[in-house]
Amino acid sequence: MLSIDLSGRRALVAGVADAGGFGFAIAKALAEAGASVCVASWPPAMGIFETMLRRGKLDEARRMSDGSLLDFEKIYALDAAYDELDDVPEEIRSSKRYSGRGDFSIGGMARALVDDFGPQPLDILVHSLANGPEVAKDLLDTSRKGYLAAVSVSSYSLVGMVQRLGPLMRPRAAVLSLSYLGSERVVSGYGGGMSSAKAALESDTRFLAFQAGRRHGIRVNTISAGPYASRAASATNMIDRYIEHYERVSPIPERLTLEEVAHVSAFLCSPLASGITGATVHVDHGFHVMGIATD
């Protein structure tokens, strides 16, 4: 029987701070396929996440198909807005929300991985990071600061991570990120520069696939996922309306599940997808193909 086997591989899923989003679901699917999984969390949210894990609040979500609990090898602090600790403003470094987290930059996380697991610690990198501080504003009303912040964390951070982690990845490794249809179509209410950030993410996926493929022998793909009511998506204030419209007009008129995205993610990170790189794979029940639907 053909199956996804990630035994002996280590994955890092960046952007996990609760059990309700794509990042956690992908981490769980990778573990179900046999991978060892580390995660990276935004420092201000990391304490709550660790406390919930310690107190068993996430045990049900962590339950694997064999009855065991998903166990993370390591949880790293990561603020993907910063490539190195020297880039971090003093007010952030001295903030109580970052206290005790050490070097939470992309470079700091890369060095911590080497310290923990050796010179080539990774086989899989999943970028599940996005932040648009003005996402609820129309693009026309978005400030330069808000726009650049969205692009920095939501797209450039993938470049920064592949720069620093690509050389640390084993042969035939895979990189995966998460995009959204707002990159290529107008989605009213998806503002703050996030549409531009996702368009950049998809373009960067193609260039990184070529450059990182030639330099490091790794594949780079992105998934354009349909709408899901995660905590992050609620920032748009329109997610319920998105989902209702999506469910009504998609070729498969059903709500998207986290597992559907997670299973495709595991496939793309596996040897079964060794011929796929530079691709934007839509996991949205076919919604992206639609123009005018009829009942």
Return the active site residues.
155, 198
HEC assignment per residue over 162-174: HHHHHHHEEEEEE
Q: Is there a contact between 163 and 141 (Cβ–Cβ < 8 Å)?
A: no
User: Contact at 8 Å (CB) between 40 and 106?
Assistant: no
Q: What is the DSSP letter of 155?
A: I
Distance of CA 264 to the CA centre of its chain: 13
The residue with tokens 């956690």 is 24
Phi and psi torsions of 215, nearest 5°: -80, -40
Distance CA 35, CA 241 (A): 36
Distance CA 127, CA 153 (A): 11
Query: The tokens 């996804």 sit on which residue?
Result: 4
Answer yes or no: are the C-beta atoms of 150 and 194 closer than 8 Å: yes
Between CA 269 and CA 176 the distance in angstroms is 7
**In angstroms, rounded to a whole number, what is the distance separating the alpha carbons of residues 56 and 53?**
5
| 34: CB partners within 8 A, 6+ apart | 5, 6, 7, 8, 9
Please tell me the distance from the alpha carbon of residue 101 to that of residue 77, in angstroms, as a whole number: 6
